Structure 1
Amino acid sequence: MASPSLVTEVLAHSGRLEKEDLSTKISRLSQRVEEVKGEVCDMINKKYEEFLPSLQSAEDLVSQVDNLSSDIDMLKSRIENEVQRDLHVAVTEFTELKQQLEKNTVILSVLKELQEFDIAIEKFSCKVSERNYIAAAEHLEKAQITLRALKLRKGSELQVLKGLGIELTLQKENLLYHLGEEWRQLVVWKLPPAKDLEDVKSALKTELHLYTLTPKEESGCRPLLTSVLQAFSIVGELNAKLKFFSQILLRYILKPLISYPSLHTQIEHQTQSVVLQFENREADAEHSSPTKVFLNILSVFQFLHQHLLDVPLELSLEKEKKSKVALAEVLGDMIWKEVSDCIIKDCLVYSIPTNTSMLEQYEEVIQSTEEFENSLKKMKFLKGDATDLLKYARNINAHFASKKCQDVIVMARNLMTTEIHNTVKIIPESGVSVPKLPALTAGDKLKQQKVSKTVHNEMMELANENKLEQHTFALPACRISESVQKLMDLAYQTLSEATSSSTQCAIQLFYTVRNIFHLFHDVVPTYHKENLQKLPQLSAIHHNNCMFIAHHLLTLGHQFKYHLPSPLCDGAATFVDLVPGFRRLGTEGFLVQMRIQKGELLERLANVRNFSNMDDDENYANATKAIRQVLHQLKRLGKVWQDVLPVHVYCKAMGTLLNTAVTEIIGRITALEDISAEDGNKLYALCRLVIEEGPHVFTPLLEENKNKKYQEEVPICVKKWVKFKELMLILQANLQEIVDRWADGKGPLANEFSTSEVKNLMRALFQNTERRAAALAKIK
């Protein structure tokens, strides 16, 4: 039987567990358990074979098992109590040691970073004194990164960091001061006074000096100007410095080159510097051509690229954040938008063709614009994407249409605001010369044939009924303003150009022509309002102008309809809707003048005091004067309107005015209650003056012998002319003659006068006798 020395040894252990490996003891115990297990098995096997002999040994074995179990329980209790307690103490001690180690590590790191900060500041000061600004800026940024890392650490001394921050700020300002002084000496502007920026002479005073010096300490290395720029970039102040530089460059160099065609760039190389300046040459045009502007601007950028901007910049020194960018790209981002806008506004706009025949030549401008941008991209002033400048140049069709429409509207408005008294003669044979239109397509020909066939059939039917005169639909002979004729020529030319333009351009041009006539309708009556009211001749010319325009608007759209794109060719190309408005505009304007003239006629006749008491010489003289003034006014109007108004309009206008005077005289005389024989004779003399002189106001033509026809037709033009003659007969007739002309209401007198008017005249002319009563009785 095995000795229980192992259990006894374990239980007898009173020292610390560290003296013997715990796992070894547990291994031994496990081995002993296995041995006991084997003995138990042997015992069970022998139970039935050697029952009695083995009883004693079984009892001994049971005793050993009990002892072994007791040893195990003691060991387990010892492990739970002593081993775990000692283990907890060891872990606590280890944690404290670890925390102390970490704290010491942090302190060492902070001390190391403070040392790095101090070293960076010392090296910075040394490099600044050596004018090695790039290295100085790098050391300054290292110090800044170190300070930033210190601030992120917890538990650092706040007072120390505050002092370091103040020192870093002071050193940065020190570096910026030195860089600023170097920049002012290396980049020198000579500028004209601000008040003298409006002419070429002042631009010639502008100079840009770039000094290409190299510090003695860096002989053979990069130029000082490059070092200064890179140092500015490292400390983050480059954009502010370049912003000011770019604004001066834009204002004093680039914009003058674009605006003044005579300016050219000139570069002069000196010992330690290079100078950009202007020279003045004679210019052929008012505005610079795009090609010339592009060459001048390229020369400026090439100058800057060679001596200033060909510098790769590192925007940051932090790990994984370094990015290189060309200095030219930074400047390009700042000024390209304004440069391109200026080129468009002051150069490309003026290079847009004025007619479609020049559009093909504009391809050269598009090509030169593309080459210009490609050159800037090679120098890294521009990025790879498309720019507004090239888009503008390529979108020539839209710009051409807009400019053409704008030019047409401006020309039209100038014509509308010129004096309208310069006239040209329009005769039925006159016409507007329409330029040759492009050939029709097959579809357009089919549409035209259908319409032409319908119109031809209608004209044939009309011709079969009545033969039309050659000039039936022609505008009658008259005078119109020369400006209006030019305006109509402009409309025809614009529509002709629309027929050979792109769809978008054609539609814009068509509606621009419509806008011309809308503009005329609004501008002319307002702009010339005072003269149209004061001067009868101008009102007549304005009337003719409106009728001339309305006459052409009837057929203007039809002439171009099938040469224009859809939807214009489908019926939208028409001006007929504007015709009533123009006719009304001309008529109303002339009627205003007619009312003014009527008012003046009636005002002159108002001074006659109802034509009473003509036996008074003064009254008769005033009446004669008033009649002569009326006739003089009409004759003066006839001279003013002669050869201006169409004949039928002239005769109708003069007839209306003369009829106004005659009607007024008739009304005044018929209203008299008493007319003596002498008054009757003098009234007759006044009326005879009108009858004799009145027809002479009808002189619509310059040729005297041709006016007789219209003078003979006075009764047609003056509605009250026959009534006026009948009044004269009454003033000289006796009672019987009046009764005879009345002829029981069927005579010529009855056709003109009412019963009451004749009776009133008879009572005024004749005394109250039986004969008068008998005669009055017959007037019914």
Structure 2
Amino acid sequence: TNEEVTDMINKKYIEFMPSMEGAEELLDQVESVSKDIDLLKSCIENEVQQNLHDAVTEYAKLKQQLEKNTAVIDLLQHLQEFDTAIEEYHRALQEKNYVVAAKQHGKARASVDALKAWKDTELPIVHALSSEITIQRENLIYHLGEEWQKLAVWKLPSTKSNYISPIIYVKSFLKTALHLNRGGSKGDESVPHALLPSILQALSIQGELHKKIKLFGKNTFWLLFKYMLKPLIIYPSLVVEVSSQPEQGAVLSLQCTETKAEHPDPSQVYTKVLTVLKTLHEHLFDVSIDEKKVSEILGDLIWEEMSECIIRECLVHSIPANSSQLAEYSEVIKQTEDFESSLKEMGYLAGDSTDLLKYARNINCHFASKKCQDVIVAARKLMTSEMHNTVKITPEYKLSIPKLPSPSGGEKERKESSKKRAHYDQQSLENEKQLSPNTLCLPVCRISESVQQLMELAIQTLSEVVGSSPQCAVQLFYTVRNIFHLFYDVRSSDEDSETCALNTAGRCGAPHLAAIQHNNCMFIAHHLLTLGFQFKPHLPLKDGVAYFVDLVPGFRRLGARCFVAQMNVQKAEMLERLSTARNFSNLDDEDNYSVASKAIRQVIHQLRRLGKVWQDVLPVNIYCKAIGTLLNTAISELINKIMMLEDISNVDGERLRTLCQTIIEEGPLVFNPLPDENKNKKYQEEVPVYVKKWMTLKEISMVLNANLQEIVDRWAEGKGPLAVEFSCNEMKSLIRALFKNTERRAAALAKIVK
């Protein structure tokens, strides 16, 4: 094993010495190369580095000089471009080649903008060039504006006078003229024929097109609308005349024709407006700029106001007055559609549906609105008219209701229904007792003519619902209801009796008008009962609608309240007159008797005056009840005063009886409901029916002139006529006042029992 170790060591280290010697030689070579490298590095640092720094410095100087030279060349190029553009600009401007001038001005402006951005350095020449380019821009816009103004030249009428009569005002428009120039003449070759496109394109290049068009549109349309379009729309006598001038353009002027029409026809208005706009389109506005026509730009400015004027001054007045003319209005709708189609073709109008066409197509709604407005105005005029003008209403009077078409389906159904009615008529048995033809009719009376016309207006309005659209029919129906609501509000007064009396005296002014107001309300209430049901088959209303029946109680209360208020006024006057009679006491004094007699005479005179005022105005039964109530008030007051007397002398009794006899004799004569005196006797004989205290007055008149035995006999143990009118205490009190306290009076008082 030792041998093996020894062999291994010998084999491993036998070549150690040669390897070591080779490594030492290699180390010497490396040290030699390292010395050479250090020497080379030292040489580079001392010589090459210095030369390289000098070269870099030289390169930077050359680069800076190159940039300066390049900038100067660019500056000179921009100046050259500016100078060339300005020269071309002036040449084109003199030749009125505005498109070239605008483009060259744009190039010059671009050169100036490039100079402004040069190295962020402000050069004195740049300020001068900027000022020059601004001046030339304004100069170009000024020339374009001047040429623009020459395209449309107005000749306007003078408006110096503050007031002008309508006829002169219409004729003043005959001086209006609009000259449309194409921009050149045939002999003038220096001016392009189509000047407008050149002007518009130049303005577009300068960015002033929309601003100028809007300004031109506002000014020109204001003149066009005020002095040409609006007069043509408003006045049917004015027409437009177009006269052409070769190679120059056209002249629009207004002419006057004779016509009796108050408002223009829509077709005439459309024709006149289209004539003006077509001429403007042919000579000015048929030009496209930036893929948009000038007419379209101006159309946006003029359409709204022009359409409103056509609606307000023309279409509103063309709305039919009645529903039978609605079918003919389709022609106006067709004309409106053609009018808008023509405007769309020329570019003035964009879109499918406009306010003008919507207004024309919505004729049913406008017809109903106009009809309702006219009806309300007419109704209010009737309500505020004088009530004195009256007409006589008789039981034979009937409202003239037009013949309405049958709501049934067809002729076959009508024939079947007529056959059924004939069959039932044959089977029915006629009643022996027939109602009077005047049953449920208004009694003879007088009403205001305006109220009769108001009811006829309501019926005429309701007749318009036949054949109308459901919306129109409902609107007309509620308009008629509003008429009666308005009448009620105008004529209505407060519930308080005193206020009502004052209102009646102030509004009616006399018993005559109070009676007419009563009749008016009853007349309306009477016809409202059936008015709605006569038109029910033609009204698209749901079941359960009251129509006009719900208004009837209100009108009846209104009429009754007004008349009762007047009755209270008359009662107050009557009681005031009777209050001057000094309680009808001490009539043995001539002064007292004279005052009492005068009071009775005044009451009779008041009743006679009322009888004359209400004669042939109030219905007979209302007349008799009213006069009877007032007479009963006077009699009751007289009886009450007599019953309050504690001592009645023979002279007092005689004179009291005279006063009672005056009323008994003259009282029936105030019942004159009819102008024919012979016919009034019937009502004068029926005074006890209308005057409750009439028999009481007769009995007290008898008592004032009777002895005790006659009084006892008429009492008849509580079964006689005196017992009917007086109570025991009242009769005893009256006997004590008339007779002295004697045994006979005591015996008579003992017999006054029931």
Common topology (TM > 0.5): yes
Describe the superposition over 1:483-508 as per-residue Cα deviations: whole angstroms up to 9, x where unpaired.
22222222223223213211111111
2:334 partner letter: Q
Q: Are residues 1:736 and 2:709 paired?
A: yes
Aligned counterparts of 2:664 and 2:448: Cα–Cα separation in 1: 35
Say which of 207, 215, 221 aligns to 2:192. Answer: 221
Q: Which residue of 2 aligns with 1:136?
A: 101
Are the aligned partners of 1:211 and 1:225 in contact in 2 as well (CA < 8 Å)? no
Residue number in structure 1 paired with 2:496: none
Counterpart residue number, 1:276? 252
1:487 to 449, 454, 459: 454
Q: Tell whether 2:566 aligns with 1:593.
A: yes
Query: CA 1:754 to 1:306, structure 2 compared with 1: closer, same or farther past 3 Å?
Result: same
1:174 corresponds in structure 2 to: 139
CA distance in 2, matches of 1:643, 1:501: 42
The CA deviation at 1:633 is 2.0
Distance 1:84 1:564 in 2: 115
1:546 & 1:366 partners in 2: Cα distance?
A: 44
The equivalent position to 1:254 in structure 2, one of 197, 207, 229, is 229
How has the CA–CA distance of structure 1 residues 635 and 530 changed in structure 2, closer, same or farther, with 3 Å as cutoff? closer
Q: 2: distance between equivalents of 1:266 and 1:684?
A: 98
> Does the CA-based 8 Å contact 1:438-1:563 persist in structure 2?
no
Match of 2:285 among 309, 317, 321: 309
Name the count of aligned residue pairs: 701
Residue 254 (structure 2) pairs with residue 289 (structure 1): no
Deviation at 1:429, TM superposition (A): 3.2
- For residue 340 of structure 1, the aligned residue among 307, 313, 320 is 307
Q: CA separation in 2, counterparts of 1:148 and 1:763?
A: 133
Distance in 2, matches of 1:692 and 1:482, equals 38
C-alpha distance in structure 2 between counterparts of 1:420 and 1:605, whole Å: 32
Aligned residue among 343, 362, 373 for 1:376: 343
Which deviates more from structure 2 when the two are superposed, residues 612-621 or residues 479-488?
A: 612-621
Aligned to 1:124: 89
Distance 2:720 2:117 in 1: 127
CA distance in 1, matches of 2:92, 2:165: 43
TM-aligned CA deviation for residue 366 of structure 1: 0.9
In structure 2, what is the Cα distance between the partners aligned to 1:671 and 1:181?
109
Q: Is the alpha carbon distance of 1:252 and 1:129 closer, same or farther for their aligned partners in structure 2, counting shifts above 3 Å?
A: same
Once the 2 structures are TM-superposed, how far is the Cα of residue 253 of structure 1 from its aligned partner?
Answer: 0.8
TM-score by length of 1: 0.79
Question: Which position in structure 1 is the counterpart of 2:519?
Answer: 544
Question: Which amino acid in structure 1 is aligned with residue 645 of structure 2?
Answer: L
Cα deviation, residue 776, structure 1: 4.2
**Residue matched to 1:17:** none
Return closer, same or farther for 1:497/1:267 CA change in 2, 3 Å cut-off: same
Of 186, 210, 215 in structure 2, the residue corresponding to residue 240 of structure 1 is 215
Counterpart in the other structure of 1:407 = 374
Q: 1:41 is matched with which residue?
A: none
Q: Quote the residue 2:172 is aligned against.
A: 202
Between 531-540 and 195-204, report the one with greater CA deviation.
195-204
- 1:25 is aligned to none
Residues 620 and 559 (structure 1), Cα distance of their counterparts in 2 relative to 1, 3 Å cut: same
* Unmatched runs of 5 consecutive residues or more in structure 1: 1-51, 314-322
Classify the secondary structure of the residue corresponding to 2:353: coil
Aligned equivalents of 2:378, 2:54: Cα separation in 1 = 105
Q: Residue in 1 aligned with 2:531?
A: 556
2:392 alignment partner, SS class = strand
In 2, the alpha carbon distance for the partners of 1:765 and 1:356 equals 80
Match of 1:34 in 2: none
One of 356, 361, 381 as aligned partner of 2:328: 361
For 2:725 and 2:745, the matched residues in 1 are separated by 21
> Cα offset for 1:531?
6.4
What letter is aligned with 1:686? Answer: L
The whole-number CA distance in structure 1 between the counterparts of 2:310 and 2:722 is 85
Distance 2:750 2:631 in 1: 34
Deviates more, 1:193-202 or 1:653-662: 193-202
How far apart, CA to CA, are the structure 1 residues paired with 2:80 and 2:188?
A: 28
Deviations 1:709-764 (A, max 9, x none): 22222112112222222221222122333344344544433333344543443343
* Equivalent position of 2:650 in the other structure: 677
Question: Counterpart of 2:667 in 1: which secondary structure?
Answer: helix
Tell me, yes or no, if the aligned pair for 2:96 and 2:191 is still in contact at 8 Å.
no
What is the Cα deviation at residue 62 of structure 1?
13
| Separation (CA, whole Å) in 1 of partners of 2:491 and 2:506 | 11
Q: Secondary structure at the match of 1:534?
A: coil
CA contact (8 A) 1:604 1:629 kept: yes
What aligned pairs does 1:311-330 form with structure 2 within 5 A after superposition? Answer: 311-313=287-289, 323-330=290-297
In the TM superposition, what is the alpha-carbon distance from 1:270 to its structure 2 partner? Answer: 4.9
Distance across 1 between alignment mates of 2:123 and 2:555: 89
After superposing the two structures, state which structure 1 stretch, 703-712 or 167-176, moved more: 167-176
Change (3 A) 1:678 1:279: same
Shift of 1:262: 0.6
Range with bigger deviation, 258-267 or 645-654: 645-654
The change in CA–CA distance for 1:244 and 1:274 in structure 2 (over 3 A counts) is same
Give the match for residue 500 of structure 2.
none
Q: Which residue of 2 aligns with 1:425?
A: 392
- Superposed CA offset, 1:47-99 (max 9, x none): xxxxx99x98999899999999x999x99x99xx9999999999999999889
1:46 counterpart residue number:
none
> 3-state SS of the aligned residue for 2:175?
coil
Match of 1:723 among 693, 696, 714: 696
What's the CA shift string for 1:272-303, capped at 9, x where partnerless? 56322111111232100100000111111122
Question: Contact 1:232–1:238 at 8 Å: present in 2 too?
Answer: no
Deviation at 1:573, TM superposition (A): 5.7
What's 1:663 paired with? 636
The separation in 2 between residues aligned to 1:86 and 1:674, in whole angstroms, is 166
TM-score by length of 2: 0.81
Inter-CA distance 624–217: structure 2 relative to 1 (3 Å threshold) = same
Q: 1:104 to 1:334 in 2, by over 3 A?
A: farther
Separation of aligned partners in 1, 2:224 and 2:505? 53
Identity of aligned residues (%): 59
How far does the alpha carbon of each residue in 1:199-227 deviate from its partner, in whole angstroms, 9 at most, with x for none? 31222222222344527874472255665
Shift of 1:512: 1.4
Q: Does 1:604 align with 2:569?
A: no
